[in-house]
Structure 1
Amino acid sequence: MILEAVMLLVKPGLESDFEAAFKKASNFIYSMDGYLSHELHKCIEVQGKYLLLVRWKTLESHTVGFRSSAEYQEWKKLLHHFYEPFPTVEHFEEIEI
């Protein structure tokens, strides 16, 4: 399992619009091959800051499957204009402890 982690900084005053758009955009990711789950967290201390966590079966499920899909184009249209600066996406794998 791969965990995609993204810190999102939403332009001031657009938080409610972003949250509504994110709900719509979530419909595009649910059906993707290799998608497991996702969650969005709103920062308590910093207004406009969110943490997106997405679980994928493999790295390629996200980087190839989702990002090269028509669903990703719709995701981009709904969400990418909210971010300033544009976020960095990082991927993590769990280690056994």
Structure 2
Amino acid sequence: MILEIADIRIRPGEQAAFEQAIARGAATVIAQAKGCQGFQVNKGIESPERYILQVFWDTLEDHTVGFRGSPAFTEWRSIVGPFFAQPPVVEHFTLVAKS
């Protein structure tokens, strides 16, 4: 399994609207993508305009090729993109240890 981490910074004062948008977009677009095993969104405490989106994928290609190369990615970005203060930083990880 691959963990995608997207570090998202939004414009100040738009938290409530962004939280509704990201919840809707993740549930209706990302969660329906091939290879998606689930997602989680966390909000920064010290930085309330910062969000961490975690998406669990079967393979790296399910995200980088399948999802990103599909019309669903454009739909996803149209839902959450208007809130971005800057482009998200996205990285992928593999599990090393777990409790």
With normalisation by structure 2, the TM-score equals 0.91
Match for residue 4 of structure 1?
A: 4
SS, match of residue 29 in structure 2 = helix
SS, match of residue 90 in structure 1 = strand
The runs of 5 or more residues in structure 2 that have no matched partner are none
Supply the RMSD in Å over aligned alpha carbons: 1.3
Match for residue 80 of structure 1?
A: 81
Match for residue 42 of structure 1?
A: 43
Q: Map of 1:82-97 to 2, 5 A cutoff? A: 82-96=83-97
Identity, % of aligned positions: 37
With normalisation by structure 1, the TM-score equals 0.93
The runs of 5 or more residues in structure 1 that have no matched partner are none
> Distance between the aligned counterparts of 1:40 and 1:55, measured in 2?
12
SS, match of residue 86 in structure 1 = coil
Aligned residues: 97
| 1:35-78 Cα deviation digits (max 9, x unpaired) | 01100001111121111111000000000111111211110101
> Which letter maps to 2:64?
T
Match for residue 18 of structure 1?
A: 18
